[in-house]
Amino acid sequence: MNYLKKALFLLLLCPLACKKPTEDLKIVVDNNIIKYTALIHVTDALNPSAALKNGTLTITGDNAGDLYEISGKKQFNIVNGVITIGPGPNAMPKDTSETYDVQVNVPGYNSLSKKITFTNGQMQQVVNVALTKVGNNSTGTQPGKPLPVNDQVTLNFTGTCAKRSDLVIRLSMYVFYRESDSGAAFQYLGYMDKGVITTTALETGKKYDFQVTYDGKAYNTSQLLAGTNESLSIAMGSEICNNF
Amino acid sequence: MKKLFILPLLLIVLCKNANAQISYGEELPKSVRINMGTQGIGAEFAFGVLPAVSLRAGADFIPVSANNVFSVSGFNSDSRASASFSNVHLLADFVPFKGAPGFRLVGGAGYFVNAKGKITIQPKDNYTYGDIQLNKDQVGNLNMDVNWKGVAPYLGFGLLKAFPNRAFNVNLDLGSYFLKHPDAAITATGLLAGNESQSAQLQRNLSGYRFLPVVQLNFNFKI
């Protein structure tokens, strides 16, 4: 009978010892549906660090229907002077380049038209647009502040969803940064590919604010860089989370 | 692979030993069996080596699959789970109580030539990202693969007599194989490619999945 008990115990041991196979597993989704992107960075021509009012982008031309905001939507809202656009998956540049006519509109500023070209193989580009105020055509554009050079730091960003704890988003977006509590304007840092960005612009031991924009909204996170390889998470709100 | 060859070699040696005993006039029982149970279906050759001890060698296989046993919340998907196990094994039956020949302790080992589990999750139909409609290939799919291939000891007990008194009988095996630590991996494509980074977590979750319970009916034909 003792043997019988031991044998039964063996049979019962599996369900007692085994974790659920999917325990602590999350669904990881990439947001790089739009593979070719252009960051349009809009600034005041006379005062590049000034915060611009939110504006819009107007796409014109026969191929206007191919362009999307990075959220996959047709709403082109500029927030904090930043918007990311690109051709949809069915309109990616293949053998030739594709040019789009874009007009930048910010209240109080003269609208400016730009031609943005997406070329096969060049997946990212930054288009700086300096706007002049209405009634003031002075274009005393100041050169962008160069990024500092420090030791290389790798940041691993994870997009999280408050209402979907089982979902993690690997972000492919343009990142802006500033030193925390500096009061400075956000400065362009670079492009993070599938959540990863390596840069020499940051200094370990300092705390920074990071910002990305998506669907007309800005998302921020702050972190003290203790080492040269840091993991950060950005609460991405409902827009991107509802997209998956 | 060496172990795969050791089992039949051992079987031949034991068979010779059994024949030797028979030649001395002490006829020990032999039977062929068809097995059906949690291991699938299989066949065995069994023979007595001592009055209370018998050996059996055989093979079992089971291919099973099921659709939509898993669902991913918020992800309109189809899932398919499949498992495939096949083994060759050598087991010994020992009757511990002379007065209870229908109760046997069973021990031994099997070599799992194939011991795989697989779960595939893929989008059910087109997927919408903002105003963009993505097809199934653009969304991609996700595969979880687990492999227990290798040698596994077996322990259990048997009910009812090991050999038929006449031409045929049925007996029962209850026990478990103790499988090796599984190798688990996630592979994914398209927008789900990032899930490959969770292979280590899947491996940890499945590290305790080592018992393969056996509940098996054996149909024995005396030879």
Q: Which CATH architecture has domain A34-131?
A: Sandwich (2.60)
Q: Which residue has the higher pLDDT, B25 or B100?
A: B100
Q: What is the mean pLDDT of residues A130-147?
A: 75
Q: What is the mean pLDDT of residues A65-75?
A: 95
Do A34-131 and A153-241 come out as alike in CATH topology?
Answer: yes
Band (B61; pLDDT cuts 50, 70, 90): very high
Is the CB of B131 less than 8 angstroms away from the CB of A167?
Answer: no
Predicted pLDDT at A185: 87
Confidence of residue A16 (pLDDT cuts 50, 70, 90): very low
pLDDT in tens, B116-165: 988 888 877 678 889 999 888 888 989 999 999 999 999 999 999 999 98
Q: What is the pLDDT of residue A143?
A: 56
Query: Considering the entire predicted model, what is its pTM?
Result: 0.76
Average confidence (pLDDT) over B87-116? 95
- Taking an 8 Å Cβ-Cβ cutoff, which residues of chain B contact chain A? 70, 72-75, 96, 105, 129-132, 134, 138, 144, 155-157, 174-176, 190-195, 197-198, 201-202, 204-206, 208-211, 213
d(CA B145, CA B197): 14
| Residue of higher predicted confidence among A46 and A2 | A46
Q: How much is the pLDDT for A1?
A: 45
Token digits of residue A204? 């370990």
Q: What is the mean pLDDT of residues A129-156?
A: 81
Please name the residue of chain A whose CA is at the shortest distance from the CA of residue B206.
Answer: A21
pLDDT class for A85, splitting at 50, 70, 90? Answer: very high
Model confidence band, residue B3 (pLDDT cutoffs 50, 70, 90): very low
pLDDT of residue B20: 39
Distance of CA B219 to CAs A68, A209, B149, Å? 67, 72, 27
Contacts of the segment A99-102: beta carbons below 8 A, 24+ positions apart? A100/A59, A100/A61, A100/A63, A100/A64, A100/A66, A100/A67, A101/A59, A101/A60, A101/A61, A101/A64, A102/A40, A102/A57, A102/A58, A102/A59, A102/A60
Q: What is the mean pLDDT of residues B199-223?
A: 92
User: Could you report the per-residue pLDDT of A174-183, keeping only the tens digit for each?
Assistant: 999 999 999 8
Q: Which CATH fold would you assign to the domain A153-241?
A: Immunoglobulin-like (2.60.40)
Give the domain ranges of chain A: 34-131, 153-241
**Chain A residue nearest residue B203, CA to CA:** A21
A18 contacts B202? CB cut-off 8 A: no
Q: How many CA atoms lie less than 13 Å away from B66 in the CB half-sphere?
A: 6
